[in-house]
Amino acid sequence: MGRPVDLATAAAKLARFASRLTENIGEIATSPELQARVDRLAGQVGPHGVDPFGFDPDYLKKYLGFAVWIYRHYFRCEVRGVEQIPDGRCLLVANHSGQLPFDAAMITLAAFLEREPPRFFRSMIERFVPNTPFVSVFMARCGQILGTPENCLRLLRAEEGLLVFPEGVRGLNKTWKDRYRLQEFGQGFMRLAIETETPVVPVAVVGAEEQAPALLNLPSVGGLFGMPAFPVTPTNPLVPVVGLLPYPVKYRIYFGAPLRFGGDANDEDEVILGKVQEVRATIQRMLDDGVAAREHVFW
């Protein structure tokens, strides 16, 4: 007897929540402060509203409201050290985790929302993205580019900022037992940094590991869907699709002091690897400190 009534009130509650949410997002999106920040990026854009790589600040405005809502109200990002990001060419090097790359968006937003003046970092998209309808356009208009060495060199020489995850999917799709343990780093970023004399800013993200704790990963199952991984979390695949959405953990993003590297970009692997390890050790230390300092995963 009571069931239909309960359903109705639940639906009404849900609808109220949804309308409050959209209202909230709309408020954020149209806030003059946010609009002004986006407009401050517009200097790099040509007469047709895009930069040569396809980045379109007006397009960004449409989706930024939702992203900022996630940043402020869902993950409630706490940011330290954002003032350490220098002007001009810059590489943000971060740990990668959480099955879905929300960490990339949150780091980018941190540098965009908290830094003065705002900077919009580009991250490197995977090779399958340019082949994917809609996603390819979305990524390009948001300033993301394919991670080829030529693209990176060109952007750094143009004094732009890049966000890289040297762990790649190894970090993104690692399982619970490896949480906050950095996986092997690629060397590409270090050769780029040396060649272009770009400062490397180490970034540690604490919280993203718990947004989707993977008990195990079945890449062969993921292959069936054309994805590099298939994480089994407490909710995925029990609740399909929704089960993969991140839990409302609290994000803590730490920016470290810029590291500068000299030498020869075409040096032996061992020499480059030594410098890569220096960055990796710094990020691992920042991660350990961050994990030790937090009192709770969710707040």
Partner 1 sequence: MRILLTGIAGRLGRRAAHRLRRHHQVIGIDPRPCPALPTDVIHHRVDIRRRPAEDVFRQGEIDAVVHLGVVHNFRIPAERLYARNVIGTETLLKYVSKYGIKKLVLLSSGDAYGPMPTNSHFIDEDAPLMGSQHFPEIRTLVAVDRTVQSFFWRHPDIETVILRPVHIVGPNVRNAPSKYFRLRVIPTILGFDPMVQLIHEDDLLRLVEAALQPGVRGVFNLSSTEPVPLSRILKILAKPTLPVPHPLFRLFLEKAWKYRLTSFPAPELDHIRYNTVLDTTRAREVLKADPERTLYEILEPFRSEDADYVS
Q: Which residues bind partner 1 (CB under 8 A)?
A: 46, 48-50, 52-54, 56, 127, 130-137, 140-141, 145-146, 148, 150-151, 154
Q: Minimum Å distance from CB 138 to partner 1?
A: 9
- Shorter beta-carbon distance to partner 1: residue 58 or 289: 58
Interatomic CA distance for residues 203 and 284, integer angstroms: 10
- Shorter beta-carbon distance to partner 1: residue 49 or 223: 49
Q: Minimum Å distance from CB 130 to partner 1?
A: 4
- Angle 299-85-122 (CA atoms, 0-180°, nearest 5)? 85
Q: Minimum Å distance from CB 228 to partner 1?
A: 17
- Shorter beta-carbon distance to partner 1: residue 52 or 219: 52
- Shorter beta-carbon distance to partner 1: residue 19 or 148: 148
Q: Minimum Å distance from CB 147 to partner 1?
A: 10
All residues at 6 or more sequence positions from 88 whose CB lies less than 8 Å from its CB, including other chains: 159
Task: Name the residue among 167, 192, 9, 162 with its Cα closest to residue 90.
Answer: 162
Is the separation of the CB atoms in 41 and 57 below 8 Å?
yes
What is the dihedral sign for C-alpha 267, 268, 272, 274? negative
- Angle 232-104-185 (CA atoms, 0-180°, nearest 5)? 80
Q: Minimum Å distance from CB 149 to partner 1?
A: 8
- Shorter beta-carbon distance to partner 1: residue 137 or 232: 137
Would strands 122-125 and 216-217 be described as parallel, antiparallel, or unpaired? Answer: unpaired
- Shorter beta-carbon distance to partner 1: residue 56 or 210: 56
Interatomic CA distance for residues 127 and 54, integer angstroms: 17
- Shorter beta-carbon distance to partner 1: residue 128 or 298: 128
SS3 label, residue 125: strand
Q: Minimum Å distance from CB 151 to partner 1?
A: 5
The enclosing H or E element of 5 equals helix 2-30
- Shorter beta-carbon distance to partner 1: residue 59 or 102: 59
Number of CB atoms found within 10 A of residue 1's CB: 4
Number of CB atoms found within 10 A of residue 141's CB: 19
Q: Minimum Å distance from CB 49 to partner 1?
A: 7
Interatomic CA distance for residues 180 and 288, integer angstroms: 8
Q: Minimum Å distance from CB 221 to partner 1?
A: 25
